[in-house]
Amino acid sequence: MQTLPLFTKRSALYLLASCTVVLSGCAGMSHSNPNQPPSDKGVWWLEPQNGATVGQSFKAKFGVKGMGVEPATAGQNAGKGHHHVLVNQMSKPAGEIIPFDDKHIHFGAGQTEVDLKLPPGQYKLTMQFADGFHLSYGKDMAATIEVTVK
Ligand SMILES: [Cu+2]
């Protein structure tokens, strides 16, 4: 009878510690649902939905909140930028340049609705917002979905 309450107390403490780790993990993410607008600042996919199966040519629609879209020709302006889709890549750290290649697609005209073309396969697509010099605004301005192209 002496050991049981102690065991229970330890279990409760362990449970509390686990919950704290899970909660702080969630707080560190920009936002949990890549298809939902963030509460303050961030980007989200209006289309396609996370986990969707799409054709080899499909429509993508980008949302941004707390910053403004403008063409890259406007130059580097605080709080402004354009969308990118990073193919099978996670977000780029803030301040890093987004390369120009087939895994980093720039929408430098300020597009918020585009047609993407990909060969069949499983993809992780990260929408990344970056400034007029193509310098990333980091993970808080990124949202990743997974799609199957068939
Ligand atoms: Cu760019």
Phi and psi, residue 41, nearest 5°: -145, 135
- Strand-pair category, 142-149 with 53-54: parallel
Distance 129 CA to ligand 1 centre (A): 8
Calculate how far, in angstroms, residue 71's C-alpha sits from the geometric centre of ligand 1.
9
Q: Which amino acid is at 15?
A: L
Binned at pLDDT 50, 70 and 90, residue 32 comes out as confident
CA 99 to ligand 1 centroid distance, Å:
8
Q: In sequence order, what are the residues at sequence separation of 6 or more whose Cβ sits closer than 8 angstroms to the Cβ of residue 131? A: 76, 77, 80, 81, 137
Q: What is the pTM of this model?
A: 0.80
Ligand 1: centre distance to CA 47 (Å): 20
CATH 2.60.40 describes domain 42-149: yes
> Considering only CA atoms, which of 113, 129, 126 is closest in space to residue 68?
129
For 102-122, what is the mean pLDDT? 98
